[in-house]
Amino acid sequence: MNHNNLFARLSGLSYLVLIVSGLFGMVYVPGVMFDWIDSIQTVSNLHDKSTLFRAGISACLLSFVSFTVLSGLLSKLFFNSSNLGALLLLSFGVMGATALLANTLNYINVATIMMGQPEVNEHTASQILAFASQFSNGFTLIQVITGIWLVIFGWLAYRTRMLPTVICVLLIVSGLVNYVAGFVLKFVFETGDVPIWLSLPGTLGEFSACLWLLIMGAKSQK
């Protein structure tokens, strides 16, 4: 196995870890823990499922590590064909990973409050929902960075023919529609999230890129 294929498969593995840990820590766990209508129920969920919540914190930290590793591996793969593109990919990857780490501080604040105030009360509940809201807003903001990163990744993969053209196009679509447009719709136009049917092609592209790199490695480049 040549070095490019080795780095490509390691990239695929890192991408898989990023996807799984990100979905678990930043989507599934908040959906289970935080009740935006009933704050007391939120605190009760945190008491009853404290192990799950701490697993969510660990998953967020793991996503930070995997995003950093993935960006480094991909930038190495692309560096010979496009120095600037590889540096941009690495820069946005490190920026996104750092933002993920900083955003996880909101989770840690929630865990600290729960340790210091084990009893359910309105003050505790309001503090927790405030940090949960900050986490949610931070996650949405990080999507802009992730979206730009995906556009750069898709463009570099197409330029070097590292991935099939259709996957490269879907990566760019995912970055623009699922992430950047998602932020714009929520915070600029206040119309909610991107419809699921519209986000499916980009999501398919991300999973396809991950599996292609993991299983097939890198196609021969220009």
Using only C-alpha atoms, the chain has a radius of gyration, in whole angstroms, of: 19
Give me the pLDDT at residue 55, please: 94
Q: CA–CA separation, 8 vs 68, rounded Å? A: 15
- Please determine, for residue 221, whether its predicted confidence score (pLDDT) is greater than 80: no
Task: Provide, rounded to the nearest whole percent, the portion of the chain with pLDDT above 70.
Answer: 93
Instruction: Please tell me the pTM assigned to this model.
Output: 0.89
Task: Provide, rounded to the nearest whole percent, the portion of the chain with pLDDT above 90.
Answer: 53
| Residue 2: band (very low, low, confident or very high) from pLDDT cuts 50, 70, 90 | low
Helices (H), the chain: 3-23, 29-33, 39-48, 50-78, 83-116, 122-160, 165-173, 182-183, 196-215
Displacement of CA 76 from its chain's centroid (Å) = 21
Q: Residues 50, 32: contact at Cβ < 8 Å?
A: no
**C-alpha to C-alpha distances, 21 to 56, 62, 67, 130, 132, nearest whole angstrom:** 8, 7, 10, 23, 18
> For the chain, what is the mean pLDDT?
88
- Please determine, for residue 122, whether its predicted confidence score (pLDDT) is greater than 70: yes
| Residue 39: band (very low, low, confident or very high) from pLDDT cuts 50, 70, 90 | confident
Q: CA–CA separation, 72 vs 80, rounded Å? A: 14
